[in-house]
Amino acid sequence: MQAILALEDGRIFRGTSFGASTERSGEVVFNTSLTGYQEIFTDPSYAGQIVVLTNPHIGNYGTTPSDAESVKPFIEGLVTREFSPVCSNWRSTQVADEYLERYGVPVISDIDTRAVVRHLRANGVMRGVLAAGDNLNEQELVARARAIKKMEGTDLASKVTTREIYVWNAEEPRNQTGDSLLPATENADRETLHVVAYDFGIKQNILRMLTRENLRVTVVPATTPASDVLAMNPDGVFFSNGPGDPEPLEYAQQNIRAIQGKKPMFGICLGHQLFGLALGGKTYKLKFGHHGGNHPILNHRTGKVEITAQNHNFNVDPASLPADVEQTHTNLNDHTLAGLRHKTDPMFSVQYHPEASPGPHDSHYLFRDFRTMMEEWKK
């Protein structure tokens, strides 16, 4: 069956249909990761987006529940050069084609993804429609793409968050010999600390990394009032990644201000952007975002360069931050702000994924830093 990707500027890409034979729409972005396509499928930060993968071979190692970052795929659609309807890997429990079809995600393959990426890099991310069928009207698809609500001003976090409070107690992922796939930690024998994690679209590997630091994690919905969180008397509060524009999330910004100075806080991606807004800064939309597992980040405190995984469309304007905020990390690709820390209150955040699964793992230390901050705050 034929599939068409129609962009709002009238550009059309024709290919072969896989996954669900349906029509989905969203903002079209590209990801440069070489591995980890299932983690990309299931990252809630991709809600509202059609993802173009630059690695040409997708689906060849299938899917497995242990690689999922959430309970289902959140991408609106998938764009690939070559999509494999079969797989070969001992860990696989279902081929990617069936997995995406099961959750209603359409796939277009056999197109020049390099041309799509170059178009997006030159013109910026844009809205698009991905549809499967043999008698599709291209102009109607373009018109529907232009009618899609823009990402700016859209609160998607409240749509993907958990509806109930829960305690995370899932087991660590393990390899065939039963060994943990997560790095060893020296905190196993230390006091168990309690962290409340705000779920704006949290990834499961973040929860695993927190528990690896001997932290008991309670996950709460995105709109949970700060008073309810403080009543739990946690040792620290975590603010997760998530999709959409951070600016409309005024409830989250108010919660950050209410908790600031009372409990140690750590934010990742959307959480980082919310920290910036809550501290008086401003955010802006990037031309084509940062999506991939190969972004170099300079840590100003250590002088080291970390290779990081990233997935965001908005960024904090460093010039807008007040003097009591330290800029700790910089993206070396475009020199955008990638990390901040308050100079007096116990709070820090980064604009990338230190829990990156399947990798890279250069920034795992941030979870240890969070635990250390909580230990010092308790003294």
Whether 353 sits among the annotated catalytic residues: the reply is yes
Give per-residue pLDDT as tens, 62-110: 999 999 999 999 999 999 999 999 999 999 999 999 999 999 999 999 9
Residue labelled with tokens 């249909």: 17
Q: Is the pLDDT of residue 177 over 60?
A: no
Buried b (16+ CB within 10 A) or exposed e, 169-182: eeeebeeeeeeeeb
With a CB cutoff of 8 Å and minimum separation 6, the contacts of 186 are none
User: Token pair for residue 273?
Assistant: 């952007």
Per the residue annotation, which of 272, 295, 329, 353 is the catalytic one? 353
Residue labelled with tokens 């903002």: 27
Mean pLDDT of 156-165: 96
DSSP secondary structure string, 130-179?
EEE-SS--HHHHHHHHHTSPPSTT---HHHHS-SS-EE--PPPPB-TTS-
Helix boundaries (H) for 213-364: 226-231, 250-259, 270-278
Q: Is the pLDDT of residue 238 over 70?
A: yes
3-class secondary-structure state, position 68: coil
Give per-residue pLDDT as tens, 83-92: 999 999 999 9
Per the residue annotation, which of 269, 291, 342, 361 is the catalytic one? 269
DSSP 344: S
Under 8 Å between Cβ of 336 and 287? no
Taking the CA atoms of 176, 63, 169 and 244 in sequence, report the sign of the dihedral they define: positive
Indicate the pLDDT class of residue 113, thresholds 50, 70 and 90.
very high
Domains and CATH numbers, the chain: 2-146 (3.50.30.20), 157-378 (3.40.50.880)
Per the residue annotation, which of 39, 247, 355, 364 is the catalytic one? 355
* pTM greater than 0.85 (yes/no): yes
